[in-house]
Structures are given as C-alpha cells and as structure tokens.
Amino acid sequence: MGRSSKDKQALEEKKGIIPPDSLSKTAAKKLKNSRLKIPTTAELIDPLLKGDRTALSRAITLVESTASKHQQQAKELIEACLPHANRSIRIGVTGVPGVGKSTFIEQFGTMLASQGQKIAVLAVDPSSSLSKGSILGDKTRMESLVNNEQVFIRPSASGDSLGGVARKTREAILLCEAAGFNIIVIETVGVGQSETAVHSMTDFFLLLKLAGAGDELQGIKRGIMEMADAIVINKADGENIKAAKLAKTEFNRALHLYPPKVDGWRPETLTCSALHNEGIDKVWNLIEGYLKLAKEKSTFQKKRKEQNRFWLLQTIDSRLKREFYEHPKVKKELEKQLELLSENRTTPFAAAEKVLSLAKLNS
C-alpha cells in the first residue's frame, strides 16, 4: 500500500467510514460500500413520507449533491414530495452572531415540540460557502434539540453561491414538509445578502436584536426593518431588563412609521430571555396571531405564490448572467472593450452595446 492510500485509510478510520485494521480488507470494503450506498428513490420516499429522519437526511444530501447522477434522483424525490409539501409555517430567524439565535431556537423548538408540533431547523449560512468557515454549522449548537424525537436539525447547506445555497434550502424545506414537519425554522446570520434570501422563502421573518446603549436604530441595516414581521430583543434579563424595555419602545416607535405590510400585518417588538426561557411563548402567540390574520385575509398562499414567482425569475436571471459572462466570446470582447475604455477610445455605453450584442449568440 502506497503512502497516500495508507493516509487515506487512516483518515477514513478516523472518520468512522471504515473500521480499524482489525477487520479483513474485504469485510472493511463491504462495510464501507454499504455505508456509502445511496438508496433508490423508491427506498427513500416511503420512509421519508412517514417522517423517518434518516431518510429525510439522506434525501437532503442528494438535493445538496452536485454530482449529476444524484441531481436526477433529487429531482425525482422533489417531484414525489411536492404533493405532500406546503403544509407548514416557515419561520425565518436572523440576527448577528452572539445575539442568541441558537439558544432562542432551542427553547422555541422545545416548547413547540412539547405541544406535539414537529419542527425542522435549517440554516442558510453564507460564510460556509464563501470563506469555507461556518458560523452556524458547528455541531455543538442546540444540543438538547438534536435528541428530541419531534425535531429535525440540518446544519447549513454549502455551495459556491448564495443562489445555490438558497435553492438547496428551498428544496430541503419541501422535503421536510413532506416528512410531516409542520414548523420549519430557517436560521441565518445577519451578514451579507442571506436575510433577503431567507425572507423570500419564509412566511414570517423574525429579527433578533440586543439592547444597546440607546441608539438602537443606528447601525441597523437598511431594509431589514422593512423585512421584519417581528423584532425580538433577546437577553432581556438581569441588568439588561431596563435597556431591553427602552429598546422595545424605540423599535416599536420606528416600526409604526412604516405602513402595514401588504398582507395587512403590523410588525411588533417583543422582549425575551432565551437563556431563562422567558417570553418565548409570547413570540409564538404573536406568530399565531399572524397566521390567524393571514388565514382571514387569505394572504398566506398568495405570499407563497409570489415567492415562487420571485425564485423562478431569480433563477433564470442568475443562470443567464452566469452563462453570458462565462461564454468565451463574451469574455474576450469584454476584455477588449475594457481595454478600449481605459484608453478613452470608447464610452461605457458603446462598449456595453458591443458586449451585449453577443447575447444573441445562442439564438
């Protein structure tokens, strides 16, 4: 055995993919193959629809895979699951690292599970795809939820673009719904564009904040107030209570400056202490209030249909852009025009026209 294959074996043993040297080579190979074997669509779909978490997990792995043989199977799975999906409330949770998202979701999930609800927690973590490091994905988070029979937790999908990660997450939502999970929590960290993506795939969008030193509205990212259906000031405990109450008043005042949402909902600010499990029930009551309103006004499905439309157009848009910029003739022409532009021998608009005229390449 060459050095590199020895290293590989040692690594696989460490990861538990194959057992240590004590087993014969054939036995080890057999065991490895059985663990790596991907079940067929038929083998997956039945247990998945019955709520089997292992089948669900494997189905999501297929959806996340970039291998073309997996993509075909993933497509079949999604199609089989579609008639069973859609029966859930999708809740987006965002906030900066350290605000208490995982502590909050842990309490929130435990409370709902004790009421008989089935909760799936998915994460959209742009950092894991862009910097190869993950803010949300580490396994030590939400320890008590992981072992709850009513709960399914999936660390963040990875991918080379937010669009790719968003597609995988949307498909994972469908699979979770088909498996009978009726509350889907999609967590994201308040950096980059990920909130916008998560906002566009959820029914209710929750922004977690901390009470600051007064200037609550300073430094809050533009657009995020408009997206929030509720703001929750976490860590409202101990010496923080007073500041949290002040922050609540200030955020509520700011929220009232916005007109109600298109579905008639008026966002509100609440306080809670995820650590001490205080105020979590009020957040759920608020979400239930939203659901009641959305049902009365029949806006729930309408919003989802709009989201589907958004993702369809968004997917076409990003695919067209990528294919355009990656086309060798476009690359060459773009380089040429940039050169001419730097020498003042063309204008940005004339140069753009030249490059864009290549868009008819495929027709």
List residues binding ligand GDP (CB under 6 A). Answer: 95, 97-103, 234-235, 237, 273-275
Tell the smallest beta-carbon distance from residue 95 to ligand GDP (Å): 6
Cβ-based nearer residue to ligand GDP, 96 or 341: 96
The CB-of-264 to ligand GDP minimum distance in angstroms stands at 30
Query: Taking the complex as a whole, how short is the minimal distance between the CB of residue 135 and ligand GDP, in angstroms?
Result: 7
- For ligand GDP, give the closer residue by CB, 100 or 163: 100
Look up residue 193 and give its DSSP letter.
Answer: T
Structure tokens at 238: 């101990």
Rounded Cα–Cα distance for residues 95 and 208 (Å): 5
CB of 71 to ligand GDP, least distance (A): 32
* Of the candidates 9, 178, 3, 26, the residue with the CA atom closest to the CA atom of residue 18: 9
- Closest separation between CB of residue 273 and ligand GDP, Å? 4
Q: How many Å apart are CA 132 and CA 126, to the nearest integer?
A: 9
Of 273 and 299, the one with the shorter C-beta distance to ligand GDP is: 273
**DSSP 3-state assignment of 88?**
coil
Distance, CA of 248 to chain centre:
27
Nearer to ligand GDP, 13 or 281 (CB): 281
Three-state DSSP at 40 gives coil
Order across the sheet with 268-271: list the strands: 151-154, 119-124, 183-189, 89-95, 204-210, 230-234, 268-271
Cβ-based nearer residue to ligand GDP, 171 or 216: 216
Report the alpha-carbon angle 78-79-81, nearest 5. 65
| Cβ proximity to ligand GDP, 97 vs 223, nearer residue | 97
Position closest to ligand GDP via CB: 100
As measured in angstroms, the least distance from the Cβ of 260 to ligand GDP is 29
Max intra-chain CA distance, the chain = 73
